[in-house]
Amino acid sequence: MDIKRLIWHGSIPLKITLSKTESRIWDQTTPYYIEIPRISYLPVYLDLLIGFFRTFLLDESTASAGNAWFSTAEDAIPVRWHLPIGLLHDLHRPPPPASSSTTPQPWHLVLHFTNYPDILARRQCDWAMRDAYMNKLKEADFLRCGSAKRVMSLSKHDSDALWQSVVDHDLDTFTRITSTLLPTTPRNLPIRIYLPTPAPAPPSSPTTPTPSNPHPSSKPPTASVGPPLNTVHQPLTPLSQSQTLNDLLSSHFPALFPDPAKSKSTLQRQRERERSNGKVLGRAMIHGVKIPGEMPLVEVVREMAGADGWVDIVVVVVVMT
């Protein structure tokens, strides 16, 4: 199986329960178990879930796709519906850096129909998800070609069929339509990098960053709360065919991804630091898999882009011991 096919068929097992405050029978509602393709989106499955949970609801009139939102069962965090489910999973449940042999448990999400949180974008109509998807696609096209005319000149039939192929998980149709979208030599690459973000400094303190001080005095760096997602686009520089994933990451985040070429000169210093407090390093994960840094970026995008044309890189931090 080629990489594209493997990615397309990757899936996330989910356990979905109804918010107990909205259920007639508190926490006794039967959970719904479903396995969703990584490249798909939660709103696609709402009709199914509404049909299943409707009769459990205290107030059945709230059961509409526009009201529905999800939160993580573990820490009650609203889940952003417009991101692919695989990416959401990797952001909320970062895979362990070392391969562990434990059996993966389904990811537990809670479905709500009331108190829609302000921090989530509203889905004002039925086709909001499709619209969000098409916008992401156009954005990626704009980066690759300098305009979105390839996506915008898709026929009505093809652009409908493209979204439908994501909904129906139909790789053949998807490949047929998207094959016209990819230029042989892209100008830029649609890549997003997601960094876990530790707790922000309190607003009263001066904003000068103190990277040398691992223990900000005012706030203990324990359970880090904060905007976890820092998205960084591939910068608009002339793209060389040989640029690798490591080149990209070490130019953006040299402390997390030291440049192997430079590390020789500072090897001594590095060794000392490693001995003293354990080195913090980043690991790049795409679709939940650790990607070798020497892989050329052009290939990463060609083989590993999601259904929206973007490559989402989730950075996981590890402390070397």
Partner 1 sequence: MERIPDDLENLNLASSIIISNIPEDATAALNRYTQADTAKVAIRFKAVGRAPILKQQVYKITSGQRFQTVTTFLRRQLKLRPSDTLFLYINSTFAPSLDEVIGNLYQSFKVNDELIYSSNYTQRDLMQTAPCPYP
Subset of 169-198 contacting partner 1 (CB under 8 A) = 188, 195-198
Please state whether beta strands 32-37 and 11-18 pair in parallel, antiparallel, or not at all (unpaired): antiparallel
Q: What is the DSSP string of 229-276?
A: -EEEEPPSSPPPTT-BHHHHHHHH-TTTS--HHHHTTTHHHHHHHHHH
Q: Is the dihedral of CA 168, 172, 178, 182 positive or negative?
A: positive
How many residues belong to the site for partner 1 (CB under 8 A)? 71
Torsion of CA 127, 87, 6, 102, to 10 degrees: -130
Interaction of residue 288 with partner 1, rule CB under 8 A: no
In this complex, which beta carbon is closest to partner 1, that of residue 32 or of residue 81? 81
Q: Is the dihedral of CA 180, 182, 187, 191 positive or negative?
A: positive
Site for partner 1 in 6-45 (CB under 8 A): none
Buried b (16+ CB within 10 A) or exposed e, 244-257: bbbbbbbebbeebb
In this complex, which beta carbon is closest to partner 1, that of residue 57 or of residue 132? 132
- Considering only 183, 235, 260, 292, the residue that binds partner 1 (CB under 8 A) is 235
Interaction of residue 75 with partner 1, rule CB under 8 A: yes
Q: Which stretch binds partner 1 (CB under 8 A): 1-9, 23-31, 106-114, 277-285?
A: 277-285
- Considering only 179, 204, 213, 241, the residue that binds partner 1 (CB under 8 A) is 213
Interaction of residue 124 with partner 1, rule CB under 8 A: yes
Draw the binding track, 241-260, toward partner 1 (x: CB under 8 A; -: no contact).
-----------xx-xx----
- Least distance from partner 1 to the Cβ atom of residue 123, Å: 7
Site for partner 1 in 83-112 (CB under 8 A): 91-92, 94
Site for partner 1 in 140-159 (CB under 8 A): 142-143, 147-148, 152
Q: Which own/partner contact pairs does 291-296 have at CB distance under 8 Å and 24+ positions apart?
A: 291/245, 292/245, 293/244, 293/245, 293/246, 293/249, 293/257, 294/244, 294/245, 294/246, 295/244, 295/245, 296/241, 296/242, 296/243, 296/244, 296/245
Interaction of residue 128 with partner 1, rule CB under 8 A: yes
The structure tokens listed for 164 are 């439908």
- Least distance from partner 1 to the Cβ atom of residue 60, Å: 26
- Least distance from partner 1 to the Cβ atom of residue 166, Å: 16
Draw the binding track, 215-234, toward partner 1 (x: CB under 8 A; -: no contact).
xx----xxxxxxxxxxxxxx
Interaction of residue 67 with partner 1, rule CB under 8 A: no
